[in-house]
Chains A and B, each alone.
Chain A
Amino acid sequence: MFPSLVRYLLLCYLRSYRYFPPLLVFLVGLMLLYANRPNPVMESYAASSVLVYFVTAWIGAGFSGAIGEAQEQIAAVHAGSVRAYLAGKTLAVVACGLALDLAALVWPVAAGSFDAPVRAGEWLTALLAHAELSALGGLAALLLSRPIVRSGSMAAASLLLVLILSVAKSGVLGVIGEGFAPLFILLPPAAPLVDWLMDPDAARGMESAAVRVWPLAYGGALCWLYLRLAERKW
């Protein structure tokens, strides 16, 4: 029943053709990223992880619109509850992100764009970071879209701000001063994940574990918040 809901929602999204602009940007982004070769493995993966973060957020932002309010209501009745429907939609957006993650990971390997073979550990690290970043992007977009944020322009502006600030956190803090760091604590932990990909050995022990686990916990909290708020505002 639940897989049927996710499959149906993915089909609705695909047939709306709303995937076309984000997919095009994703493909052009990958092409530009690997236009010159050879490329360093982890630095390249760090760049592609930022790409999937933004593109999955774009997909998440357009997902509700692709299905339409009345069809969402019909699907919610058939799913048994609004909460079940929202959980299905969340999974569908995360599944779109996973598809992008796999493409981002396999593309450079298949095209021979790296300067060295990708080791299993590197691949696993890259897979985890891509999956976490795409899920964070998709969830942030869902949280900042209908029915929680009903104004389209407000939703787009706030999502873009959240995405940019969460990735460029250290750069922004460098300009405005480290004293503002507490303001960034609520943003998705995208920057530590990208830093981890750039230099997987920089963080050790507890710090390394925190970099991996914190985005999962944050994503879980984001998901819970989305389900609660969206159900209430539906």
Chain B
Amino acid sequence: MDTLIELRNVGKWHAGRMIVDGIDLDVRRGQILAIRGRNGAGKSTLLKLLAGIVRPSAGVVRRAPGVRVGYAPERFPRVRFRAEEYLTHLGRVRGVPREELRRRIRELADLFQLHAAGPITHFSKGMAQKVNLMQAMLVRPDVLILDEPLSGLDADAQAELARLLPKLGQEGTAVVLTGHEPGFAEGWADRIAVIRDGKLEEQRARAAGPADESDPSAWICDQWGLG
């Protein structure tokens, strides 16, 4: 399995405080990696290191050449744009041609059932979170990094996401996501890494999976207690 991002003995300190330390982690193509840990354990910082928006204080972060990263932060402040307009701007920043961008935004709007025309400032938390996920998936990333993606989503949207993630994995996208809910990702993520006080304590492969490997979404919904 191709390694897309590799962290070796990575540490990050901020204002004299250690946030994460001694992290060794591989992000592999097509694999869903769940990072579990309590609030303040260092999950978000680890994701930012993977996304390349935080420089490590120690160690090395290596990315495969040309790897495309999509990143959805935990807190998505509502911006004064309409969803389509916002996504168009970010796509243009990425250098995506206009026509391709229009087509992709339509696909994502259908996928997330988000066709609201108003400004994002008027969106509910769940709708704003959908825009957050859409911007992360705007360019069919090789690595999709999602910080607490379930946050703010209603049960239906969580189920949509649960159906989407394994499909992305099957298409070759590596997905890295965090959560702190008990039982989060148990059994359905390909790998689970547990972070405690900034240190990666355990990494394990999936213990048990869906009976039907070709369509794991129903099983994932069941694991998350979704309809």
Q: Give chain A's interface residues, CB within 8 Å of chain B.
A: 1, 4-5, 7-8, 11-12, 15-16, 68, 70-71, 73-82, 231-232, 234
Contact = CB atoms under 8 A, between A and B. Distances in A.
B71 A77 contact: yes
B80 A74 contact: no
Given A11-B89, A15-B80, A78-B90, A232 B55 contact: yes
Size band of the B side of the interface? 20 to 34
B54 interface: yes
B132 to A, nearest CB: 8
A234 B80 contact: no
Contacts of A78: 90-91, 93-94, 135, 138
Interface string B60-73: 00000000011111
B102 interface: no
Contacts of A75: 90, 93
Contacts of A11: 81, 89
Contact of B70 (A8, A68, A77): A77
Interface of B: 48, 51-55, 69-73, 75-77, 79-81, 89-95, 135, 138
6 contacts: A4-B89, A5-B93, A7-B89, A15-B80, A73-B51, A74-B90
A74 B71 contact: yes
A81 B135 contact: no
Nearest to A15: B80
A70 B52 contact: no
B75 A70 contact: yes
B80 A16 contact: yes
A70 B90 contact: no
Contacts of B76: 70
Given A73-B48, A78-B138, 6 more contacts: A8-B89, A8-B92, A70-B77, A73-B71, A81-B52, A234-B54
Contacts of A76: 53
Contacts of A7: 89, 92
B92 A74 contact: no
Q: Which of A4, A7, A82, A232 has the most CB of B within 10 A?
A: A4
